[in-house]
Amino acid sequence: MQLQLLFLFFISSAFCQQFNPFAKWESRQPTFAAPQQATALSRVQAIYGIPGQRNANQKLRTCCRQLKAADIDCRRRFCDFNALRPEMVIGFMAQCAPRGPTVGQMWDCASSRFDHRPCCRQQGVISQCLVYCETTKGVPTDYLKYIVCLGQFDKISTCFQKHLETHPNIKGDT
């Protein structure tokens, strides 16, 4: 009987040394926050792109990100060609015009202060709205005079995007 107990003790102690109920978790490499960091990095790259490989929208966002005097809520909500659609322009103006230099600075990021009139004419923008295509002097401030231009905004925005696809933004980001 003592021999059997000794044998069981020896076998069970050997088994216990090899058996580890936590081995499943111990064998994994610790990955604390690594997947979240990778996800955050890929999200940032999707929003702002990789320098030298950015599309027009990423160049716009990168430019707006640098506008420290512009309202942060306006930058986050409207600094995107997809967000600046004709039906959203009035909301953008209502929300952002009273917030310091926000509208003018974001307009500069979108337009690159480039003369887009040839592109706008090609897009069929009406002559009264070409003032929004010639952006070297900034955004026109008498918005109500140009309310008819809301219907032309997609065409104007297309020209801004086309320019940014092949040129750096106004801050020099590619």
The pLDDT score that the predictor gives to residue 28 is 54
What is the pTM for the complete model shown?
0.74
The rounded Cα 13 to chain-centroid distance in angstroms is 59
The pLDDT score that the predictor gives to residue 54 is 96
Residue 23 lies in a domain: no
Residue 52 lies in a domain: yes
Does residue 43 surpass a pLDDT of 50?
yes
Residue 103 lies in a domain: yes
Q: Which of 166, 136, 164 is nearest to 62 (CA)?
A: 164
* Overall number of domains in the chain: 1
Residue 6 lies in a domain: no
Quickly state the pLDDT bin for 174 (edges 50, 70, 90).
Answer: confident
Total residue count of the chain as it appears in this document: 174
Q: Rounded mean pLDDT of 44-68? A: 92
Does residue 9 surpass a pLDDT of 80?
no
- Within 8 A by CB and 6+ apart from 71, the residues are 96, 99, 100, 102
| Residue for token pair 């966002």 | 61
Residue 26 lies in a domain: no
**Higher model confidence: residue 50 or residue 104?**
104
| Residue for token pair 């107990």 | 5
